[in-house]
Amino acid sequence: MQTHNLGYPRIGSNRELKKACEQYWQRRIDGRQLEQTARAIRNNNWQLQKDAGIDLIPVNDFSFYDQVLDTCLMTGAIPERYHPLMEREHLNDLDLLFAMARGYQQNGYDLTAMEMTKWFDTNYHYIVPEFKKDQQFSLFSPAIIHQFTEAKKAGFTAKPVLIGPVTFLLSGKEKEAGFHRIDLLKKLLPVYIEVLEKLDACGAFYVQMDEPCLALDLSEQEQQALVTAYTTLQNRVPNIKIILTNYFDCFGKNLETALRLPVHTLHLDLVRCPSQLDDILATGFVAGRTHLSLGIVDGRNIWKNNFQQSLALIEKAQQKIGANRIWLAPSCSLLHVPCDLDLEKDETVLTPEIKQWLAFAKQKLWEVATLKQLAANPGDPAAKNGYEENQRCIQTRNTSSLIHNEAVKSRVAAIKDADAQRASAFTVRKKKQQDLLQLPFFPTTTIGSFPQTKEVRAWRAQWKQQQLTGTDYTERLREETKKVIAWQEAIGLDVLVHGEFERNDMVEYFGEQLNGFVFTQNGWVQSYGSRCVKPPVIYGDVSRPQAMTVAWSKYAQSLTQKWVKGMLTGPVTILQWSFVRDDQPRSVTCNQIALAIRDEVCDLENAGIRIIQIDEPAIREGLPLRKELQKAYLGWAVTAFRIAASGVRDETQIHTHMCYSEFNDIISSVADMDADVITIETARSQMELLNAFASFEYPNDIGPGVYDIHSPRIPSKEEMIALIEKALKFIPAGQLWVNPDCGLKTRGWEETREALIEMTKAAAALRQKAAAPLLQ
C-alpha cells in the first residue's frame, strides 16, 4: 500500500510566490530572484510531503501562474498574436507566460490576455487554451523535465504530474469554425510521447496524468479519444507507469472506458462519490492487475477526515483486491485548501474548539499517511493514538452547541414560494424604474470595488492591530469614499459605487458580520495568478445580527445627486467561496444565507438606496459536472438568489454580476433569477459569451464587460466601442449597459482612471449614434 499526493499549494505558506511575482511585474526584483523564491517553495513543499510520510511526491504541480497555461507552453500552443514576442523581442519562457496570462502593452505592442474561466466546479481560474484548425504542437517549454530532475537531484521520490491530453484539449476553445478541438489529438500526442520519453530517460517511473474530464458527460468521440491517447502512450513509452486521476465526481457513464485504459493506477475521488468504489469492485477490475488509488481525504474542504469512515472504504477495497494494489491519496490536488493549520496562532480569531475540527494541506498529508498505518498495522501505538484523537474531535463537533440555532432553522422551514417572487413582472418593473431613475441610453457603471491602495490596506491592518482607533479608521475611509464619488461624477459615470474601501474581501467582509462563520489569519488559497483569497469557514447556522452595509451606502448616497448602488454578495457566492459545513445539505445553508441577505436588501431600500447589486459570480461554478444533477442544483440556487432579491418594491432595481463562466447551458436559469440588470465578463472572450443570451432572447437588461480588469493593459475608446457594437448584434440597444468586466480592487489607480475615462467616452459616442439605423 503506497501513499501519494496529487498536488500541493504552490503559493507558499506565507504567500511568498504571490509577493515575488508582483514584485517581478513591478520590476522590483529580477527573474533570478523570482526563480530563487520558486525553488525554495518547491523544495519546502517536497520536504514537507516526505516528512509527512508521502511515498510518491508530485512535481510539476508548481506553476508561476496556472498549470493549464504551463501546458500551453509545454506543447507550443501559443496563440499567433504572441509570436512576435518570441521572434522579435526574444522574451524568455517566463515573460511569455506572463504576457499570455496578463496581456502585453509595451514596446509598441498592445496584446490582449488569453481568456480565463473556472476549473471545473472550483473557484480556481485557469487560462483557456486557444486552438485553430491547423494547430501545430511541438515541445516548447521543458519545465516538467527541469522540475523532475531538480527533485530527483535533491533526493525526493518524484512523480511528474501532467494535465492529460484529452482534458487539455477539452479545456480549450476553437478559435475558428469547421473543426472540434478533440480532432487535434493525433497532432498533440507526439509532444506527450516526447515528454514521457525524456522523463523516462531521466529516471522517472510513475507519471500522474490528470483527466478530470472523466467526471463530465463525455461523447463517444471523446471517450474514444481517451482510449486512443492512453493506448498510444502505453505502446510508445511502455516503461512509464501512468497514474490516471479523475476527481470532482464519479466516472459515471465513462467508467467502462476508464477501465479499458492501459494504465498502472486508476484514481477515484471517494469524497465526492464514495459509491463508485462499489461500482468498480463489482466489475472485472477485481481480476485485473491495475492498481486503485483511493482519494479518501478531502482536497476541497477543510474538515478533519473521519478515520472510521475512511478505514471502512480501505477495508472494502482490501478484501476485494488486496493491499498491494491499493494506493491512498487526497481526493484531488490540495491546491484548493490552505497550507498549514499550525500557522493559526490567534485563538481569538480561530477558537480551539473549532480549530480541532479542521485540517489544512499539511495536516491532510498526515491524515493520508496515518490511514496507511492504521490499515497496515492497526496496533501501531502512534497510529492508534492518532485514531483515538481523530474520533474524539469528530464527536465533539457532532455534539457542539455552537452549531445549531433553532430560530434560524424555523425561519428556513417557513419559507414560502411567494418569498422568491417580485411583486410584478420585469416589463412592469422596468417602466417604473425608468420613470424613477431617469438613466440615459447605454448607462455606465462599475462592478463595485475601486483600487485598494497600500495606504488603505495599511489603515485596515493598523485598525485591526489597535494602532488606529475605529473613529480614525472610519474617517479615513469616509474621505476615500468622498473622493471616489466626486471622481466618478467628474468623469460622467451614470450609476456610482462607494468603492468598498472598508471591505477586505467580497465574501469575508460579510462573513465577519454573520453568525455561523469563523475566520483564519493565514488560510489563503490561490484563485488565479497572484490573486489569493482567504475563504471563511461556515461551521454553524447562519443569521444576520445587524445591518452590514447600510451606513456606508447611505453616506455615499448623501454625497451626490446621482444614484449610488448598494453592493452585496449573493447567497450562492458566499456559499461557494467559503469552506462549507458538511453536516447538512448545502441548499439549507444557502437558504440561511439568502434570508440574511434579504434582510440587508430590505434595509438598504428603506435607507433610500434604489439600485442594489447582489453579486453572484459563483452560481455557474457550483453547477454539478453531471447533467443529471444540474436541475436540482439550479433549482435551489436560483431560488436562494430570488429569496434574497424579492423583498423590495418594483421601483428598486436589482442588479447581479457574474464572471469567468460559460452560460450556454444555464441561460434559462440565469433568466429565472429575474435580476433587472445582469453584468457579465465578456471582454476576454471578445463578446463570445453573448451568443447564449442572444439565442435565448434574454429578456432583462445586460451589461457585457467592455474591458478586462484582470489585465494591466488599458483599452482604447475605439476598442470598447467595437466591443459594444459587437454586443449590439446580440442584444437590443435598450437593454445594454456599459461597464468593466469585474471589480477594480486589484488594479492600480493610474490604469483604472485611464480605462474608465475611455469607457465613458465610448458610451457618449454610442449615444450620439443612437439615432442611426444600426442602433434602432
Active site residues: 710
Alpha-carbon distance 125 to 201, whole Å? Answer: 33
- Write the CB contacts of 110 (distance below 8 Å, at least 6 apart in sequence): 104, 713
Query: 293 — phi, psi (to 5°)?
Result: -100, 120
Alpha-carbon distance 165 to 131, whole Å? Answer: 14
Alpha-carbon distance 150 to 234, whole Å? Answer: 25
- Check if the beta carbon of residue 61 is closer than 8 Å to that of residue 10: yes
Alpha-carbon distance 238 to 557, whole Å? Answer: 68
- Check if the beta carbon of residue 742 is closer than 8 Å to that of residue 704: no
Per DSSP, which regions of 137-205 are E strands? 158-163, 173-174
Closest CA to 760 of 433, 496, 481: 496
CA distances from 713 to 73, 84, 101, 446, 751 (A): 22, 18, 12, 17, 8
Alpha-carbon distance 51 to 59, whole Å? Answer: 16
| DSSP secondary structure letter of residue 17 | H
- Check if the beta carbon of residue 6 is closer than 8 Å to that of residue 208: yes
Cβ-count burial 745-757 (b if 16+ within 10 Å, e if not):
bebeeebbeebbe
Q: Which three cell numbers stand for residue 346?
A: 490567534
Alpha-carbon distance 532 to 125, whole Å? Answer: 11
- The one-letter amino acid code at 741 reads D
- The one-letter amino acid code at 417 reads D
Three-state secondary structure call for residue 5: coil
Alpha-carbon distance 575 to 531, whole Å? Answer: 20
What is the helix (H) or strand (E) element at residue 528, kind and residue range?
A: strand 525-528
Q: Which residue do the cell numbers 509545454 mark? A: 74
Residue 79, number of CB atoms within 10 A of its CB? 16
Q: What is the dihedral of CA 669, 673, 678, 684, to 10 degrees?
A: -30
- Check if the beta carbon of residue 561 is closer than 8 Å to that of residue 537: no
Burial class of residue 688, CB neighbours in 10 A (0-12, 13-18, 19+): middle
* Ramachandran area for residue 622 (φ above 0: left; ψ -120 to 50: alpha; else beta): alpha
Per DSSP, which regions of 28-138 are E strands? 57-59, 116-118, 125-127, 130-131
Alpha-carbon distance 55 to 50, whole Å? Answer: 7
- The one-letter amino acid code at 205 reads F
Give Dmax (Cα) for the chain.
83
- The one-letter amino acid code at 600 reads E
| DSSP secondary structure letter of residue 556 | H
Nearest-10 crossing angle of helices 470-491, 749-768: 30
What is the helix (H) or strand (E) element at residue 495, kind and residue range?
A: strand 495-496
